A and B are shown apart, each in its own frame.
Chain A
């Protein structure tokens, strides 16, 4: 009798114990930011990445920053879209990592997650003037410095140099106009290729609104404002590229942001709006020569917006001072030089930008990027920017494809203000 029972009990209890173990392991995994069992100098860092090569580069940077701050930094990662979902669930359960990566456009939305780095700057040994002013500004929310930037860049025109040359078109240079842009796009549109890729996200249109009317989607006071004649004009012009000029393909779906780069790289669209962060990959991937040009001159000149990303300290970090020092390391001279040379980031530290040009043989891009940085404003966003972005993408499809109206689009997006 006894042996039978003990065997049953053993089995059952063993199963129970295994489950309990598994459960506690799960709990430990999800709380990997709180560092309850870790030594005092262990920090965790969450960052998005798209490939193993990228992960290796970030781990290298974590090593650099760890050495600089006297800590050990463990690296966690997720793909770009998942990153924001995961960060949200971590934030909701108060389980964020000590060091959190943030894009400037999302800084207003996530501002409460971070400590104000202004208070730590002296101890971090960081001087604000070493960084590009526009991206530093973009990472400030009502004066609170949410993060220190590591990369940034202005939105510019990427073009298919080979296609331009084959069509006998002059290559776009500083001072080229929007009329010249449309003419080139018309010439390049034939068969299965289009002259331009029209996207369904704010990023693809705001540089045009800047060049035509000097307006962004968000005013300097931080209010979403599309319901004005300037925006109506730019949106109608943009829609015209698809519906009347037919130099851009109808937008295939609301969530096709990624396809902009792919369509350009596949040679299906000869021009596209993108930032320096995509340039090295574009040059390596495309089987044609990739060129970049400033925004075509409109009524307000050749203007654009710049955006970037940085690293901040979570308000839940156990040792914010140490974490701040690690942020200084992640965005320090050594890390920025490494990221620049590797082509992983266009450095937000102005002095280190040369490492990006020289390390990647991009001297010819320098003139365009420098000029557009000078002609750019920080890309302004609101605390509800993700919502605005979603609504924009969903209603841009009918509005730009000609199934819906621009006024309806404006009303829908403005409802997210």
Chain B
């Protein structure tokens, strides 16, 4: 809002009667500059999205001819399909566990390294390393840690005399184990966001609060956190979207098992399309996921008025 206003003001001030030539020229140059992005967007985003929407109304096998089935794929998803509800539930549980834990861990660590402690830049790099390591590699290593007689099991055996559970082989533990690996992988990115936002908090405000008698906890919750709310909003929206799309972690760690206990929506989408050869059905799953994410993001944007403060 503020931005558009500012632009309008400068416009009216600097070019009261703009000559036609340069204006048209700007338009052309703008088009030329936009063209690369636009072509990329159309070819790699808009077209696949539309294509998948069309495919979701077809029975589209990998080999052989597609046939139009109307809403049958969606109807199957919500009525007869036995796995979709489980996948939806698993994804919901994953999001509900992962998003809060990720935000709390990254925020906690960002606050911890935010005072002028020695070597905080090194901590930042250290904490960011998991986020830049390939997820497949991380998942393989975690697979080894989780396996019976792996590191976790051996440590627990030595310390407590009891073995750790068979994390990835137990229907109870598999999903929490996947969440744990994902948090380790993902917290570094949000930590950087929060860390930068914390640096931008003017010390004068916390000092003023301290003079008024606020302790560190009160300072954090009443002064710092409200100032962080735009970053918090940004981090929550992005983390929520990416956590709905979780795929690599269960794909590498558990293959969606045991049973279907770690089969997430994208995992099921992949299996339906690439292993069961039902591209139309897989597209229908993609669209359901898209709608869910869009609605939730919209709700977050509507809700931000209540708690996000953009002015200092």
Contacts and interface: CB of A to CB of B under 8 A. Distances in A.
A243 to B, nearest CB: 13
Interface in A246-290: 249-255, 259, 268
Nearest to A13: B32
A251 B169 contact: yes
B170 A403 contact: yes
A49 interface: no
B169 A397 contact: yes
Given A250-B166, A254-B254, A386-B276, A88 B28 contact: no
Given A23-B43, A251-B169, A384 B255 contact: no
B7 interface: no
B176 to A, nearest CB: 14
Contacts of A252: 143, 146-148, 166, 168-169
A397 B257 contact: yes
Contacts of A192: 149
B71 interface: no
B63 A397 contact: no
Interface stretch (A172-180, A323-331, A388-396): A388-396
A contact residues, range: 35 or more
Interface stretch (A4-12, A222-230, A295-303): A4-12
Contacts of B259: 394-395, 397-398, 404, 412
B32 A15 contact: yes
Given A20-B39, A192-B149, A110 B29 contact: no
Interface string B21-37: 11001001101110110
Interface residues of B, number: 46
Nearest to B272: A387
Contact of A1 (B21, B169, B277): B21
B69 to A, nearest CB: 17
Contacts of A170: none
A5 B258 contact: no
B35 A9 contact: no
Nearest to A397: B258
Contacts of B258: 253-254, 394-395, 397-398, 401, 403-404
Contact of A18 (B36, B149, B170, B277): B36
B276 A384 contact: yes
Contacts of B63: 91, 110, 112-113
A85 interface: yes
A156 to B, nearest CB: 26
Interface string A110-123: 10110000000000
A83 to B, nearest CB: 12
A259 B166 CA distance: 15
Contacts of A259: 147
A8 B62 contact: no
Interface in A51-89: 84-85, 88-89
Interface of A: 1, 4-5, 8-9, 11-13, 15-16, 18-20, 23, 84-85, 88-89, 91-92, 109-110, 112-113, 192, 249-255, 259, 268, 384, 386-387, 390, 393-395, 397-398, 401, 403-404, 412, 415
Instruction: List the 4 closest pairs (A to B, CB-CB), nearest first.
Output: A12-B32, A254-B257, A255-B255, A394-B257
28 contacts: A1-B21, A5-B29, A11-B33, A15-B32, A18-B36, A88-B275, A91-B63, A92-B62, A110-B63, A249-B149, A250-B169, A252-B146, A252-B166, A253-B253, A254-B254, A254-B257, A255-B251, A255-B255, A255-B257, A387-B276, A394-B258, A394-B260, A394-B263, A397-B169, A398-B259, A401-B169, A403-B258, A415-B82
